Amino acid sequence: MSVFLARDTALRIVHARGRALRLFGLLRAFFERFALTLLIVVSAGLLVLSKADLKLVRTVEEMVADGMAPVMGLVREPVVAAQRLATRLGRFLAVYEENARLREENRRLLEWRAKAVRLAVQNRGLREMLAMPEPETAVRRTVARIIADSGGPFVQTRLIDAGGRRGVREGMAVIDERGLVGRVVHVGEASARVLLLTDFNSRIPVVVAGSRDRALLVGDNTPRPKLRFLPLSPGLRIGDRVLTSGADGLLPPGLPVGEITAVGEQGIVVTPFVDWRRLDEVAVLDYRPVVPPPAEGLVAGRREVEHAAGGDAGHPVAAVER
């Protein structure tokens, strides 16, 4: 029984497939015969509709535009966001470059300002006589980089990567583009230790640019050292610049040190020009002070004066009456 049913089903499938093939053949023959005519009619209809100002066409266009508007808005948002981000990034890079340029210009201006103040002090105080020879200043600079910080509360020093091999000696002045940093206290072959002017052991002879008062800048392990050993009636005031006087014979005169920022019971406070937080590169000055005459020359000169006054080897000249 099942065999007859399977055979009957197979025959039905074969007949149905044959009818579908015949129908497909008829449709294919119809389209092949009338395809060209149908395409011409459709093209003519589309051409007429595109030329005619029909309300239906405008309505369809408006509906399509309304439907595509949200989609186009969603597509446009990422593009607009990317454009805004690119614009902000370009502005940030421009500001960064401008900041770097202004920093470099500010550094050069500070250097020129320090040189101008130094020349003004020299012209006003040290060159009172036109024939007075100019003392020899720093003839060489050794640029060094700070490689270590002491970090201690009682010792304020810095370690630089220049030592005896590069001509660094103890007592040399260390500066940056703003002013005096300190002096060299220990020298190795490839490194040296710099004692900052704020250290408790620092003593630097200075002069106040405004009043020409000489003093000693004494460090006290604070960011702002004090002035000591001033004249009885100093003429200084807040805002005056403090420069090295060169009285110790080790530091060049005229180096900018700081500015007087407070005068009171706590003393005369000086704020250094150096920015300790950004101290990275420094210069070590090879200063050659004026060499005094030898002691033998002074003794010989005294003997010549005594001989000119009438004394001899057995009868020295009597003391001059007061």
For residue 172, the model assigns a pLDDT of: 92
173 - beta bridge partners? 183, 285
CB 218 within 8 A of CB 230: no
37 - beta bridge partners? none
Of 257 and 138, more confident? 257
Average pLDDT for 289-317: 55
Of 291 and 197, more confident? 197
For residue 9, the model assigns a pLDDT of: 67
* pTM beyond 0.85, yes or no: no
Structure tokens at 135: 């003392």
Lowest mean pLDDT, pick from 57-61, 84-88, 309-313:
309-313
pLDDT digits (tens, 9 = 90+) for 179-202: 999 999 999 999 999 999 999 999
For residue 258, the model assigns a pLDDT of: 95
**CA triple 21-22-26, angle to 5 deg:** 115
From the list 165, 194, 152, the residue with the least C-alpha distance to 283 is 194
Q: Where are the domains of the chain?
A: 2-52, 138-291
Task: Report d(CA 104, CA 94) in Å as an integer.
Answer: 16
From the list 271, 286, 260, the residue with the least C-alpha distance to 140 is 286
Highest mean pLDDT (candidates 57-61, 93-97, 267-271, 305-309): 267-271
pLDDT digits (tens, 9 = 90+) for 217-271: 999 999 999 999 998 888 899 999 999 998 888 888 889 999 999 998 888 999 9
How many C-beta neighbours within 10 Å does residue 184 have?
A: 23
- Architecture, CATH, for domain 138-291: Beta Barrel (2.40)
Report how far apart, in Å, the C-alpha atoms of 169 and of each of 19, 135, 248, 286, 298 are: 113, 20, 16, 8, 30
- Burial class of 163 by CB neighbour count within 10 A (0 to 12, 13 to 18, 19+): buried
For residue 84, the model assigns a pLDDT of: 81
Task: Report d(CA 275, CA 210) in Å as an integer.
Answer: 23
| Strand bridging mode 214-218 / 203-208 | antiparallel
Residue 89 CA to chain centroid, in angstroms?
Answer: 21
Whether the per-residue pLDDT at 154 is higher than 70: the answer is no
The percent of residues in the chain predicted with pLDDT above 90, rounded, is 30
Residue 236 CA to chain centroid, in angstroms?
Answer: 34
Whether the per-residue pLDDT at 99 is higher than 80: the answer is yes
CB 241 within 8 A of CB 259: yes
pLDDT digits (tens, 9 = 90+) for 11-63: 676 666 667 667 767 767 766 666 667 778 777 777 766 665 566 666 766 67
Whether the per-residue pLDDT at 163 is higher than 90: the answer is yes
For residue 69, the model assigns a pLDDT of: 66
At 135, the pLDDT band (50, 70, 90 cuts) reads: very low
From the list 271, 221, 218, 263, the residue with the least C-alpha distance to 242 is 271
At 130, the pLDDT band (50, 70, 90 cuts) reads: very low
Whether the per-residue pLDDT at 101 is higher than 60: the answer is yes
For residue 129, the model assigns a pLDDT of: 36
Q: For the chain, what is the mean pLDDT?
A: 77
At 206, the pLDDT band (50, 70, 90 cuts) reads: very high
Average pLDDT for 304-322: 46
For residues 93, 99, 101, 107, the Cα torsion angle rounded to the nearest 10 degrees is -160
How many C-beta neighbours within 10 Å does residue 235 have?
A: 11
